[in-house]
Amino acid sequence: MERIKLTSEEGEAITIRPVHRVRTLAEHSLSVIGKFLTPRPLNQRETKDLLRSVWKMGNDLKMVDVGDGLIQFKFTMESQLRWVMNNGSWSFDDQLLVWGLPFDLINEEVGQDIGSGLGHVVEVDCKAIASDQALFLRIRIEISLTKPIRHGAPIISLEGDEVRVAFKYERLVRLCYNCGMLGHEV
């Protein structure tokens, strides 16, 4: 994919509609992003079980691995979130846990908008989102085979916030890495 030449479409921005953004922000308002400062991988199950026990939250606390070593901690009450934030620093297995900011980027509506910018949306896979395993958005789309596939695009919200995202494709057959077209290979 790295050798595919960029087309003029690669720079075309896809606008995200804020249809359900207020609801999504509300759902994530009791979330923080954390990262354990360690070069080695942690046992996710042990980490989750221990933190739930130490923080005395049981299943009220959801933890989602969002990639790059980041974990989203979702609380059910603001008092729980404040207690954890005010009583840190926290560590697990002698590894420091660092907090970041809340986020609201992975949801079905954004998947619909991105997919519509690429072609006809067949389905946005919400299973990973619903099961708290969302590392990415999976979107099934129908695209034109007369144009090279896009491997990324700037995504712009109506507020003007912009971020460049990469696209990865599954089950591509006979992709030409020289021109980005399907149906032949170099």
pLDDT in tens, 113-127: 888 888 898 888 877
Identify the pLDDT of residue 6: 61
CATH 3.30.70.330 placement within the chain:
30-99
The superfamily CATH assigns to domain 30-99 is RRM (RNA recognition motif) domain (3.30.70.330)
Q: Which residues in the chain come in under a pLDDT of 50? A: 100-102
- pLDDT tens-digit readout, 39-70: 777 787 887 888 888 888 878 888 888 777 77
Identify the pLDDT of residue 100: 41
Distance from the Cα of residue 90 to its chain's centroid: 25
| Long-range pairs for 99-103: beta carbons < 8 A, 24 or more residues apart | 99/32, 99/33, 99/34, 100/32, 100/33, 100/34, 100/35, 100/70, 101/32, 101/33, 102/28, 102/29, 102/31, 102/32, 102/33, 103/28, 103/31, 103/33, 103/72
Q: How far apart are CA 96 and CA 101, in angstroms?
A: 17
